[in-house]
Structure 1
Amino acid sequence: MMWKERYRIGVDVIDNQHKELFDRLSRFIQTVQKDTIWEDKMDDVKETLDFMKEYVIYHFNDEERYQEEINYPELEEHREAHDKFREGINEYVRIFEQGQFNEEKIKEFAAKLMTWLIMHVGKMDQRIGEYVRSKGGNA
């Protein structure tokens, strides 16, 4: 599993959703690295795409709602980062639906998901917890 305690921001609902994202990504990467022909991985690719498409919307909405509640000063910047990620996912969904997915695209998709999650959760989301703690909150 790729989740690390240092990714925890101290807000249970967000931390639990992040864990779920890391868990799904970890399983997807294991699938991608399996020594089978890539056509056999297409069901897993589609399942991951569907999950990411649905779950990130759900998660981003929760995260942004929480930031609104605490008057988080970097909300707009955070929202833009979420929008970019959503666009990226949707681009891969389009590629998949047009039947243009190949092994290279699957590996690229997995790498981009991993990079984005680690950078976003490990850096940008950490600032939410820091902000809450700076205001004397429990995060």
Structure 2
Amino acid sequence: MLVEWRDDLSIGMLEIDVQHKLLFDKFNAFVNAYQNNLDVEEIMRMFWFLEAYAVTHFKEEEKLMQQVRYPDYEKHREKHLAFIDQINLLKERLKAEGISQSVVSAMTNFITSWLIDHISTMDRAIGRFVNSAASPRLP
């Protein structure tokens, strides 16, 4: 189940929007590797790359939130940590069960719904905050 970027997921901050699109690309590369029955090592490499990119993206996003003094930084960071915890659980399941349709389905369902929900709510709030702070105030 591939996930397609939609313009309504844009949060209005180019750097973050580009990173989100790349997350979708990395996720789709993992799914494609599985669907095309690539070597297990290649599928795993795609998943590890997706995970590493997500962690890098979270760090960049958290750095930005700190720079702009985003008021919900801690709550947002907790969501990132919860995502990483869930990914670690899925990795353990993957190690125990191997690559199977049920494991890949669990991974794709979780990642797809999390990305879309997180971007459209939590990340969009960052965009609104930054854009409202940048807009001139009328007397």
Q: TM-score range by the shorter chain?
A: 0.7 to 0.9
2:33 and 2:46 in contact (8 A); partners too: no
AA in 1 matched with 2:28: S
Q: What is the TM-score normalised by the length of structure 1?
A: 0.83
Residues 94-118 of structure 1 show CA distances to partners (whole Å, capped at 9, x for unaligned) of 2223344422111111111101111
**Counterpart residue number, 1:20:** 22
For the residues of structure 1 that align with 2:51 and 2:29, how far apart are their CA atoms? 16
CA RMSD of aligned residues (A): 2.0
Alpha-carbon distance in structure 1 between the residues aligned to 2:32 and 2:51: 20
Q: Show CA shifts across 1:64-121 (max 9, x none).
A: 0000000001101100000000011111222223344422111111111101111111
What is the distance in 1 between the residues matched to 2:95 and 2:48? Answer: 11
Asked if 1 retains the 8 angstrom alpha-carbon contact of 2:16 and 2:61, the reply is yes
Deviation of 1:125 (Å): 0.4
Where does the alignment leave 5 or more consecutive residues of structure 2 unmatched? none
Does structure 2 retain, via aligned residues, the 8 Å contact 1:32–1:107?
no
Q: Secondary structure at the match of 1:29?
A: helix
Spell out structure 1 runs of 4+ moving beyond 6 A.
Answer: none
Identity %: 29
Paired residues in the alignment total 133
Asked if the contact 2:27–2:50 (Cα under 8 Å) also holds between the matched residues in 1, the reply is: no
| Partner SS state of residue 111, structure 2 | helix
Which of the residues 50, 53, 68 maps onto 2:51? 53
Deviation at 1:44, TM superposition (A): 4.4
Judged with a 3 Å threshold, the aligned counterparts in structure 2 of structure 1 residues 53 and 17 are, in CA distance, closer, same or farther, namely same
- TM-score w.r.t. length of structure 2: 0.83
